[in-house]
Amino acid sequence: MRLELGTIESDYQRWYQSYLRHLKYKDVSGNTLEVYTRILGRLQGFIADQNNARMMRDMNREFFLDFIEHTEENSKNRYFSKKTKQLYVSVLKSFFTYIGDNNDELYSYENEFRIAPKGVNKGKKVKYLTDEEVKRIIDHLDGMKDTRGAYYDYIYALGVKLMLFGGLRISEVLGMRLGDITVSDLRDENGNRDIYEVHLPYTKSGQEQTALVKIVDIADELSYFRQRLEGDALIFMNHKNTSPIHRSNYYVGVKNIMAKAGVNKKGLHIYRHTCAMQLYRKSRDILVTKEKLRHSDIQTTMIYAQAEKSDVAKAMR
């Protein structure tokens, strides 16, 4: 079979039907067939909703991890166990191995599945932005607002800053309402209330939580939306205010912003990682970092307790 004949949706459907025939020929159990059908059906829906992969060969490691993360965040409990994540990887690997073994071009997805689901710690170093990269991205975001003041410029600026300075997950950002951000009673050494409290009714743990972000970091963006929106409206809506902004579209927009800022990195979770790394480097307090990220297990936070080469050099000097 040809790997690609038309759109990614039609090609995926063609390979999906072929794989189902393959499974039935192998006489797999009804339970196994149901699991494979459910997971691959969800992938079909994800493909239809996203704008990143336009062809079958565009589906890479990041795409598959984004799919698993997206499905987890939209599940009933907003959480997948390690076993569930491993099941998703196993089903995807089986399906795309079948495609690799049966397409005429001998196109292989083998390298794309040398992955471990999130939650399976293999000691891999955390990816995050350097201080210079952060400055370039923030300068670019602020420059966009200064030159045009367009609605989506503020949408991207507020979302990125909430992830970067507040440590929020993208699912928490996109579900935020105007009333979720309030001035905290916490005061600085001069008695000034300088912190916003961000109420998070829906989090990965399934519990309501509160995140903190400095007022100065998002004051401009929040002022823009408070002038534009009424009451407790959802913030991250399309320009016509008819539907929420989809995570995959937001991913593409942020990816383009990072490229224009000259930052050769991608992903949305990298901003939360960066928030954690910056806080730990400044405070050297793992408990403070744990509280900032709202982790239930300190072992999860320990991945950020890493020393940079510059830190080692500074200590040696």
Residue 205: pLDDT band (50, 70, 90) is: low
pLDDT at residue number 115: 60
Q: Does the pLDDT at position 124 exceed 70?
A: no
Residue 121: pLDDT band (50, 70, 90) is: very low
pLDDT in tens, 170-183: 989 999 999 999 99
pLDDT in tens, 63-79: 898 899 889 888 887 78
pTM for this predicted structure = 0.62
Cα 195 to Cα 289: distance, rounded to the nearest angstrom: 17
Mean pLDDT of 1-28: 92
Q: Does the pLDDT at position 122 exceed 50?
A: no
The CA-atom distances, in angstroms, between 264 and each of 78, 134, 255, 260 are 30, 12, 9, 9
Q: Does the pLDDT at position 317 exceed 80?
A: no
DSSP string computed for 116-148:
--TT----PPPP---HHHHHHHHHHHHHHHHHT
